[in-house]
Amino acid sequence: MTANRAPQRRIYLVRHASAAWTKPGMCDFDRPLTDQGIAEARDIAARASACGYHPAAIWSSSAVRCRHTTEILAEALECKPHLELTDTLYNCESDIYHAILDGPTTDGALMIVGHNPTLEDMLIELAGSQAFDDHIPFGYPTAGLAALEQQVPQAGPAWRLAGFLSPGR
């Protein structure tokens, strides 16, 4: 008899879409999305919805560019995810992401919208450097969305990179 290898849990790691450069007097935290960034976020949101990516909750950095990306995603997805905006995802290390993943679980998938280089680090920690190199050889693009599945029983890395969406591809 073959064991059922259905995913136990799914997470989505999303890098914010393209943001404007800082202007004199503006802090990095307040950088808005550019027109290109808005288009990227809409593209990824539509494709995520078409793929059936429906998170029960979205945790997002409260930086303006992440909040706006999250708003576009939440509006396009065919679900009403619980939204958590937090300053702790801004300029953090991957231990903060792990704390969110290890915290109280919700029924359904979890999405985290954040920043690089932490997203790259997190994806490598979860799925391994080979998966990262195979699917994202040029680095985590703006508005990139990694879909990861935790497999039971676990073999190899704790998570499997089940898909990666990037704008225009």
- What pLDDT is attached to residue 3? 45
- What pLDDT is attached to residue 155? 63
- What pLDDT is attached to residue 47? 94
Alpha-carbon distance of 14 to 69, in angstroms, equals: 9
Alpha-carbon distance of 159 to 59, in angstroms, equals: 19
The answer, yes or no, to whether residue 1 has pLDDT greater than 90, is no
Residue ranges and CATH numbers for the domains of the chain are 11-19+28-147+154-165 (3.40.50.1240)
Alpha-carbon distance of 24 to 5, in angstroms, equals: 53
Q: pTM, whole model, 2 decimals?
A: 0.89
Show the 3-state SS of 135-169: HCCCCCCCCCEEEEEEECCCCCCCEEEEEEECCCC
- The more confidently predicted of residues 77 and 49 is 49
- What pLDDT is attached to residue 7? 43
Average pLDDT over residues 153-160: 72
| Percent of the chain residues topping a pLDDT of 70 | 89
- The pLDDT tens digits for 83-135 are 999 999 999 988 888 888 887 665 678 999 999 999 999 999 998 888 888 88
The overall average pLDDT reported for the chain is 87
- What pLDDT is attached to residue 5? 43
Phi, psi for 93 (deg, rounded to 5): -95, 170
- What pLDDT is attached to residue 103? 76
Confidence of residue 61 (pLDDT cuts 50, 70, 90): very high
- What pLDDT is attached to residue 105? 60
